[in-house]
Structure 1
Amino acid sequence: MTLPTSARVVIIGGGISGCSVAYHLAKLGWQDILLLERKSLTSGTTWHAAGLIAQLRATENQTKLARYSADLYTKLESETGIATGMRQTGSITLALTDDRREEILRQASLARALGVEAHEITQETLLDLYPHLNTDGFRAAVHLPGDGQADPANIALALAKGARQRGVRIEEGVKVLDVLQERGQVTGIKWQSRGDIGSIDAEIVINCGGMWGRDLAAKSGVTLPLHACEHFYIVTESIPDLPRLPVLRVPDECAYYKEDAGKILLGAFEPKAKPWGMSGIPEDFEFDQLPEDFDHFEPILEQAVSRMPMLANTGIHTFFNGPESFTPDDRYYLGEAPNLRGYWVAAGYNSIGIASSGGAGMALAHWIEHGEPPFDLWDCDIRRAFGFQRSRKYLAARVSETLGLLYADHYPHRQFETARDIRRSPIHEALKSRDAVFGETAGWERANWFARPGQETDYRYSWHRQNWHENQRVEHLSIREGAGLYDMSSFGKLRIEGRDAARFLNRVCANEIDVPIGKIVYTQMLNRSGGIEADVTVTRLSETAFLMVTPAATVIRDMAWLHRHVSDNFAVITDVTAAEAVLCLMGPRSRDILPEIVPQDIGNGVQPFGTMQEIEIGMALARAHRVSYVGELGWELYVSADQAAHVFEALWQAGEPHDLKLCGLHAMDSLRMEKGFRHFGHDISSDDHVLEAGLGFAVCTKKPDFIGRDAVLRRKDNGLKSRLLQFRMDEPELMLHHNEPIWRDGEIVGLITSGAYGHTVGSSLGMGYVPARGETGEDLLQSKYHIEIAGEKHVATPSLQPFYDPRSQRMRT
């Protein structure tokens, strides 16, 4: 085979994802694009996908991508001459429990806020739309008329043809053996075809390899955590006079139904899935299916026959079992690998690849072209992946759960049950022995709440007050009124040091970083538009050394951002997260506890808020950082991991006479909500302008040059387009979580970005952005606001100030 010796872009994988990326790059005018497929186009997963096209996703931006896909697929046939089979059949989701009813009504509220048509329908209307259905157990149903279904393989082939028409070269039967690199930059690929082996120079390589993608990425040191699972469906024999029907989802029975050419396709997302390909995928795998496992599918089928009685008298034409890729968090991966420039990824679609790939291809092409995505894509950013997630044992355990979670109840605070106890704090066992109930973030086991004596140490999920609500209240009030201790060893900790460290950090951070030794600076790293790429604190440890502290989930992202911008500055960036534990002692009585085990003066005159000092604590050494994410007097104590257990014991012993309480991160969340402290990934993101987020106090425009400065000055001059408000529900029994629509004077104007119950305030609190073009803060507050919860609107009180201690006097005293 004669292949070119060089290409600007090489795309690996000829499924719908690779074809979409090729199509969209070519549409932007890129030339010299080569797509390589190991076997035949669509032969991996695309060809056997069910082809459901749903518009609504969990977030606004993911919904934008799904809606883009649906719109694209309706246009491809006229552009390419290949029918995509796109039909706007609509979809229905049926709820059989009260909790599921709450969920789907919340989803319908979100849909309407995002411009997706959605209606709650009666049992009678459901039968009009789906006359063959047994509606026993009906609690609610939601209809999305704009959803549809399509032919997956033909969509991919249409995208491939559209790419070819714009100059993309597509070669089948070519396996990419390796991605070549030099000095942290992609230089090309090595290929094999029918016994021939060669290489191709390339500036950019895009891994769209689906279930093959993980192992290929690992050869280059790139983490791409995904694993194939067996995915089952059956197709019936033809059913006489079967009309066109909407797609039907019955998540309480783990099933979906699709009418197709007079037949019914019944698919399953069973609670415990079967991972596949632990030892690799067979070399000859092409348009293949896996062995039948009727025993595994039978419980789903039994419920389906009851739900749709006509199936009892209908033969099965096809029993299909095919592999699909799933990820540890049920979100796919897009973006550039954080540790290898020019290595891009679009993979791991968790059985929504057809609905997602059109938008994902557009977004990735934009990202490559402009150096940034079209909007915030943190949900699916490859930089959220951690190295330990490459482990096949980890992935096999986790994806056996995540497949089923697609149709499980999506409760707030739901915790993964598999692949746990991987990253543990040095005081993990001490907390466990005191009845800590753990959650997991970025692999870290973190104490979320502490059970009372005799109380079960498990979650009981609900959309309302969960079984730990009272525990959270006690922990919350202990920090407000006394003293509480919680473990934040999971904090990401990046040490930046070298001759140019201060200059470099002043370039990437919006606040002034060239401060005296011991000073702690709260700051954001901004993009060119003034959006927030990171929300961090930076502590000056010495003339040439700084510590950046960041959330556990974003440490890879933030480190990649730093490396991207370090340029020719003489500065070394090191991840020291595992080296130190962080114990947070907070509350008005914390200053009574520390002097019993700390000989240094910790008074306000010596250590005011926003400073750090090295201390002796018990018989150990630590750094005491006087900062707070809960709005009270307190310290974050940074302790060498080997001394953390000793320091914990010393603190606990000294605190017992002062009624020191162990606290979890649910309490921390409710405390920070009362103070209006933002949470990255919810309240602030790369889409949110730092001034509109209310964080202008952390921006030093006197500095002559930092990333985003011009955008900050422009927004100051031109006025804000929106403002982040805080809301307090007037009905204290209500619960806010996330994504509830905000109504202003009778119109939907935004969504709640995060919510929690404020135990001091005595009501649920939330934050959310409200349009504010040409309006003052006073103008915004004079309007009437409601928050929609599961289809019902409730009165809310807005504020630009925190509902608790708006002047922040308590944590500074």
Structure 2
Amino acid sequence: MNDLPNKARVVIIGGGVIGCSVAYHLAKLGWQDVVLLERKQLTSGTTWHAAGLIGQLRASSNMTKLARYSAELYHGLEGETGVSTGLRQCGSISVALTDERREELFRSAAMARAFGVPAEELTPAEVKQRYEHLNLDGVTGGIWLPTDGQADPANIALALAKGARQNGALIKERIKVTGMSKQGRRVTGVDWVSDDGEQQGHIEADMVVNCAGMWGREVGKMAGTNVPLHACEHFYIVTEAIPGLSQMPVLRVPDECAYYKEDAGKILLGAFEPNAKPWGMEGISERFEFDQLPEDFDHFEPILEAACERMPMLAEAGIHTFFNGPESFTPDDAYHLGQAPEMDNVWVAAGFNSIGIQSAGGAGMALAQWMDAGEKPFDLGDVDVSRMHPFQGNQHYLYERSKETLGLLYADHFPYRQKATARGVRRTPFHQQLLDQGAVMGETAGWERANWFADEGQKREYEYSWKRQNWFENSAAEHRAVRENVGMYDMSSFGKIRVEGPDAEPFLNYVCGANLSVPVGKIVYTQFLNAGGGIEADVTVTRLTETAYLVVTPSGTRLADQTWMMRNQGEFRVVLTDVTAGEGVLAVMGPRSRELLQKVSPNDFSNAVNPFGTAQEIELGMGLARVHRVTYVGELGWEIYVSSDMAGHVFETLSEAGQDMGLKLCGMHMMDSCRIEKGFRHFGHDITCEDHVIDAGLGFAVKTDKPDFIGRDAVLKRKETGPKTRMVQFKLTDPEPLLYHNEPLIRDGQIVGYISSGNYGHTLGAAIGMGYVPCEGESAADILGSTYEIDVMGTRVKAEASLKPMYDPKSERTKV
């Protein structure tokens, strides 16, 4: 035990598959003094009892890239380390029992082709050909992924651990981390004790990585960081040997919450039931090691009953093992990866939501590269731990949400699907007033937001579908109100960060691509860029005073955007403050928005006094407000910022004044359909940290005549060479199909990319999509001279392409 060092470059906490992967990849990058500490034995938490399914298709391009990397890594590990990973590329079949699930599966098969993963749509008869033991009752179709497979989870982790040791990493079992020493925003070291309590010590550390799995939240607290996750019970059975059963593809029947894999002539049947059982509310026993949880046959029985109908041979086979083991789940079913926002040298890789084996190789590679280079190797927004907001570490919240998230793995992944549990945590000042007017709420980063408004007598809930959902016409009416008259919607959830201090102007000029040396009252649209010219944030910045600015961000990225500014603060004398909850915000948009404001305020809203891109303090009703003349819907309009205490009064004043004008309350679905018609980019979909600002068509927002700002050299270089890809707006020529995102984009008959975001353009009369088209060395005319199609559920639909917004290309409507 005394061979533990006093110092390390990095201490990795947790010896499951992800901890071993991080150690392996850091060591492969040449890092010295890599130390991994495991409280018991390697794999003894959840890795050892994982099912070991290796699926390669995930919900986004980069997540798929990581899953594919995992499979390739595991394939080569045996030759490198001599430890067999048991990887078998037996393929997988997913089966639909409804028309809606069939559309989901067929859309995912199209998406797979866009991501370079082989996939084939199957008829029920073709499903039977590939999986003879399946009862086809109710089967509507399926998909075949030939490169999927299965592997031995524990041996994968042990192979990674051996590979890490071969490259110099130190891995120590039966060493528990008991605490951490901290100085400011850095952990300076970890305290440890041996399993027998005989020895203890301290390791100074330059960095710490939390790979503690279902202990991740508690280890996060030691480090002063927020790692929201909760353990749930996860059930499977293994049958007795079935005579004549040979290697079969992995089978998923998500409509029955079940997956099947053949292993050594037996069938393993696992479940992701819709109402899960959270576990470990009183903490996890100190003695926990390769532990199983008590059987709960009553809970599992409905899954087994359906499975015996679906796979008749199960009814004849005896049950060899009934297994119940804990696994950790996060609030949004995506794992946590990256640099903890609260500390500058603490990293996280935890909360893998039952996909840890297929994710660990890629996640370990991505995190190691991020730690080594000091910046993300590619967009990891789906899993970046900075997406989690502080309240999401609340234990009661995690308990309630975890009941749902386990089952969501196999639930229908309908577009616009809303979480049902742990709701109502964050409410805007207008929450009840919107509900009283028929609002149907969605949730983003805990904020309850009106997504659409129900008509009198209409059911106030979503009826999900891959086709037009029950709110489609409601949102269309809201869309028309904003385009033709006047609409009002709640934007209070958008993040608001106050940047204040004597260096506020030079600091923002360094962090932002645009020029922030502007008069008080000026609003600037800009991006935070990284060194490569990629987009880290997409924001507006309003100069409030000589020494204070307001940065407005998407609600989900407020913490990440504030953290980016803080990490680039250097010697600038500024204070960054989250003031999101301090003000309510109502957007009043449409051709008659000026008329409405003039009815409730004595102030002047003319172009002469309040031109586009400026803010002013006003009287409104009997209160005070600040109006920002900007738009995300492409119409004349203002965002009205009002202190939370006066928000109710302002809402009532505007509503009453708008009654005889036909003022319509609108929701977030309307905002998205309007913005995509106008070609406005959606951060996280259309623009990310790996999308160059020039390629994204946002070069107009970058002012390279400033002497120094992050990303300046990369912008100048790309302006010289020209874009490598171009963001293009597409409109389907058929008004019926719908676009969401990730549909394959076909140029002159070849797949060249995918749709980054999609919605229906009610004014343009068809589905609209945004997507990047590779174009190195090509002119705009070359791009527009091609023919384009978009693959919607396996059908290629012709699309018109435009580099300018199809709606109001000269932005004349916003400036009238």
Q: Note the 1:470-485 alignment, pairs <5 A.
A: 470-485=473-488
Which residue of structure 2 aligns with residue 77 of structure 1? 78
SS of alignment partner, residue 581 of structure 1: strand
1:592 maps to which of 591, 595, 599: 595
Which residue of structure 1 aligns with residue 751 of structure 2? 748
Counterpart check, 1:381 vs 2:350: no
Which residue of structure 2 aligns with residue 372 of structure 1? 375
Measure the CA separation in 2 of the matches of 1:74 and 1:473: 50
Deviations for 1:646-683, whole angstroms, at most 9, x for unmatched residues? 11111111111111110001001111011011100001
Q: Note the 1:165-184 alignment, pairs <5 A.
A: 165-184=166-185
Which residue of structure 1 aligns with residue 151 of structure 2? 150
Measure the CA separation in 1 of the matches of 2:612 and 2:180: 50
Measure the CA separation in 1 of the matches of 2:26 and 2:223: 24
Residue 131 of structure 1, CA deviation: 1.4
Which residue of structure 2 aligns with residue 56 of structure 1? 57
Counterpart check, 1:200 vs 2:203: yes
Which residue of structure 1 aligns with residue 440 of structure 2? 437
RMSD: 0.8
Measure the CA separation in 2 of the matches of 1:758 and 1:125: 37
Deviations for 1:547-580, whole angstroms, at most 9, x for unmatched residues? 0000000001101100110001101111111111
Q: When the two structures are superposed, what TM-score results if normalisation uses the length of structure 2?
A: 0.99
Which residue of structure 2 aligns with residue 707 of structure 1? 710
Counterpart check, 1:112 vs 2:110: no
The answer to whether the 8 Å contact 2:499/2:548 transfers is yes
Q: Note the 1:587-666 alignment, pairs <5 A.
A: 587-666=590-669
SS of alignment partner, residue 35 of structure 1: strand
Counterpart check, 1:698 vs 2:701: yes
Q: Note the 1:207-246 alignment, pairs <5 A.
A: 207-246=210-249
SS of alignment partner, residue 378 of structure 1: coil
Counterpart check, 1:494 vs 2:536: no
Counterpart check, 1:25 vs 2:30: no
The answer to whether the 8 Å contact 2:67/2:359 transfers is yes
Measure the CA separation in 1 of the matches of 2:145 and 2:53: 13
Deviations for 1:322-361, whole angstroms, at most 9, x for unmatched residues? 0001011110011111111110000000000000000000
Measure the CA separation in 1 of the matches of 2:127 and 2:542: 59
Measure the CA separation in 2 of the matches of 1:788 and 1:247: 27
2:693 maps to amino acid: V
Residue 197 of structure 1, CA deviation: 2.8
Which residue of structure 2 aligns with residue 38 of structure 1? 39
The answer to whether the 8 Å contact 2:724/2:775 transfers is yes
Which residue of structure 2 aligns with residue 811 of structure 1? 814
Q: Note the 1:106-505 alignment, pairs <5 A.
A: 106-193=107-194, 194-195=196-197, 196-505=199-508
Which residue of structure 1 aligns with residue 690 of structure 2? 687
The answer to whether the 8 Å contact 2:119/2:145 transfers is yes
2:349 maps to amino acid: A
The answer to whether the 8 Å contact 2:123/2:140 transfers is no
Unaligned runs of 5+ in 1: none
SS of alignment partner, residue 90 of structure 2: coil
Measure the CA separation in 2 of the matches of 1:532 and 1:429: 36
SS of alignment partner, residue 557 of structure 1: helix
The answer to whether the 8 Å contact 2:678/2:805 transfers is yes
SS of alignment partner, residue 650 of structure 1: helix
1:563 maps to amino acid: M
Measure the CA separation in 2 of the matches of 1:111 and 1:721: 23
Residue 452 of structure 1, CA deviation: 0.2
2:254 maps to amino acid: P
SS of alignment partner, residue 803 of structure 1: coil
Unaligned runs of 5+ in 2: none
1:731 maps to amino acid: D
Measure the CA separation in 1 of the matches of 2:365 and 2:776: 30
Which piece of structure 1 moves more, 119-128 or 69-78? 119-128
Measure the CA separation in 1 of the matches of 2:168 and 2:711: 37
Which residue of structure 2 aligns with residue 560 of structure 1? 563
1:116 maps to amino acid: V
1:226 maps to amino acid: L
Which residue of structure 1 aligns with residue 48 of structure 2? 47
Deviations for 1:117-139, whole angstroms, at most 9, x for unmatched residues? 11112333322321111111121
Measure the CA separation in 2 of the matches of 1:143 and 1:14: 34
Measure the CA separation in 2 of the matches of 1:527 and 1:118: 35
Measure the CA separation in 1 of the matches of 2:308 and 2:294: 23
Measure the CA separation in 1 of the matches of 2:795 and 2:449: 35
Measure the CA separation in 1 of the matches of 2:807 and 2:25: 49
Measure the CA separation in 2 of the matches of 1:316 and 1:374: 46
1:744 maps to amino acid: R
Which residue of structure 2 aligns with residue 515 of structure 1? 518
Which residue of structure 1 aligns with residue 777 of structure 2? 774
Residue 586 of structure 1, CA deviation: 0.6
Residue 774 of structure 1, CA deviation: 1.1
Residue 504 of structure 1, CA deviation: 0.6
Measure the CA separation in 2 of the matches of 1:504 and 1:405: 43
Measure the CA separation in 2 of the matches of 1:751 and 1:180: 47
Deviations for 1:721-746, whole angstroms, at most 9, x for unmatched residues? 11000001111111111110010100
Residue 782 of structure 1, CA deviation: 1.2
Measure the CA separation in 1 of the matches of 2:362 and 2:529: 25
Q: When the two structures are superposed, what TM-score results if normalisation uses the length of structure 1?
A: 0.99
Measure the CA separation in 2 of the matches of 1:596 and 1:112: 55
Residue 689 of structure 1, CA deviation: 0.6
Measure the CA separation in 2 of the matches of 1:133 and 1:478: 52
2:210 maps to amino acid: N
Residue 215 of structure 1, CA deviation: 1.3
2:472 maps to amino acid: H
SS of alignment partner, residue 545 of structure 2: coil
Residue 115 of structure 1, CA deviation: 1.0
2:318 maps to amino acid: G
Deviations for 1:573-592, whole angstroms, at most 9, x for unmatched residues? 11111111111011111111
Residue 279 of structure 1, CA deviation: 1.2
Measure the CA separation in 2 of the matches of 1:438 and 1:514: 39
Counterpart check, 1:735 vs 2:741: no
Residue 4 of structure 1, CA deviation: 1.6
Deviations for 1:198-240, whole angstroms, at most 9, x for unmatched residues? 2110010000000001012123331101000000000000011
1:465 maps to amino acid: R
Measure the CA separation in 2 of the matches of 1:178 and 1:502: 41
Measure the CA separation in 2 of the matches of 1:105 and 1:118: 9
Residue 393 of structure 1, CA deviation: 0.9
Give the ranges of 4+ consecutive aligned residues of structure 1 lying more than 6 Å apart after TM superposition: none
